[in-house]
Structure 1
Amino acid sequence: MNKLAKIDPIEETADVLATIGRNIRRLRNERGLTLQALADQTQLSASMLSLLERGKTGPSIGTLVVIASALGAQMSDLIDGERAAADDMVSRFADQPVVETAAGVTRRILRHDRARRRDRDQHLQAGNRQRARTGRP
């Protein structure tokens, strides 16, 4: 028998609204905007934006699009900013960091290759900046 964890839809909705609110506030603060400045750009009231940021009300898709546009972001950045960034799978060859080990092995670091990224960071911390570079080997 398949035992699935029961998800409380009310709790799940509250979590999603809180995440959206935190992401709106974080992006607004990163851009140095006040609630009123964002309200002016979106034609939403400052009190409505405050409710959204505190997770007290749910935005429509249209509202999310307007807010994201005003913040220079994508709607997915508001819904789950961390996951959206982590799920970005595009990695151009020329932009992939390269590490050359002490043994002369050249390793290209792919986006989700945490072990290689850690090796690169350790290599840089050791003062070997000329051998840890971005671009083609």
Structure 2
Amino acid sequence: MDLDQLTQSLARNVKRWRSERGFTLDALAARSGVSRGMIIQIEQARTNPSVGTTVKLADALGVSITTLLDHEQGATVRLIPPEQTVRMWSTPDGSVARLLIGTEQRGPLELWSWRLTPGGGSRSDAHPEGTVELIHVTAGELTLIVDDVPHPVPAGSSATFEAHVPHAYRNDGAETVELMMAVSVPPAR
């Protein structure tokens, strides 16, 4: 999906989910911490927001990032070829986070593929209460930081945590870290 398609899908889906939830622009701004003006620009497809802004809106709407970026809703079986996955962030030295697939059944559920080059990392704000992340490291050793406490997760190991606190993923080692991550977000109330 190209950037223009992504911007158009995000505009349409933020507007749709805000309407389905019965949120005014001001209510969504208050819930998400994203300014009313920025939400208007997003809904009018006049801006391509940061990953952090997109995550805040998805959390506030109680949907997955996949749902906000999805341009085709409704099929019973959805096959996502590699070229349609969404690269949410990357660095020049090769670190990357890719959203592979997600669903809205019983609350949003997302599956991610991450690669962190040596010295690479990413921070995340707290997600809504009840959000759970599952991680499986396939290469290297991840340093998972949850509420300022570091946890080493070597290749072949898995971890899970409640993600309603600030958290981060770091590669403090000399080899590239590769991991799979599933994120389950409770439905919006």
Q: Normalised by the size of structure 2, how large is the TM-score?
A: 0.38
Contact 2:34 2:56 in 1 (8 A): no
* Alignment RMSD: 2.6
Whether 1:76 and 2:66 are equivalent positions in the alignment is yes
State which of 61, 66, 81 in structure 1 corresponds to 2:51: 61
Aligned-residue offset at 1:81: 5.6
- Residue 24 of structure 1 aligns to a residue in which SS? helix
CA distance in 1 between partners of 2:43 and 2:74 (Å): 19
1:24 matched residue in structure 2: 14
Output the amino acid matched with 2:61.
Answer: L
Which amino acid in the other structure matches residue 58 of structure 2?
Answer: A
What letter corresponds to residue 62 of structure 1 in structure 2?
A: G
1:48 and 2:35 equivalent?
A: no
5+ long unaligned stretches in structure 1: 1-8, 90-137
User: Which structure is higher in strand share?
Assistant: 2
Which consecutive residues of structure 2, in runs of 5 or more, have no partner in the other structure? 79-101, 104-189
For 1:26 and 1:76, how far apart are their aligned partners in 2? 14
Deviation at 1:61, TM superposition (A): 1.1
Q: Distance in 2 between matches of 1:50 and 1:39?
A: 10
**Structure 1 SS opposite 2:52:** helix
CA contact (8 A) 1:77 1:84 kept: no
- 1:38 maps to a residue whose letter is L
Describe the superposition over 1:98-120 as per-residue Cα deviations: whole angstroms up to 9, x where unpaired: xxxxxxxxxxxxxxxxxxxxxxx
1:34 is aligned to: 24
- Superposed CA offset, 1:48-104 (max 9, x none): 000001110011111111100100100100011635865279xxxxxxxxxxxxxxx
- Note closer, same or farther for the CA distance 1:53–1:85 as it changes in structure 2 (3 Å cut): farther
Amino acid across the alignment from 2:59 = S
How many residue pairs are counted as aligned between the two chains?
80
TM-score w.r.t. structure 1 length? Answer: 0.52
Greater Rg, structure 1 or structure 2? 1
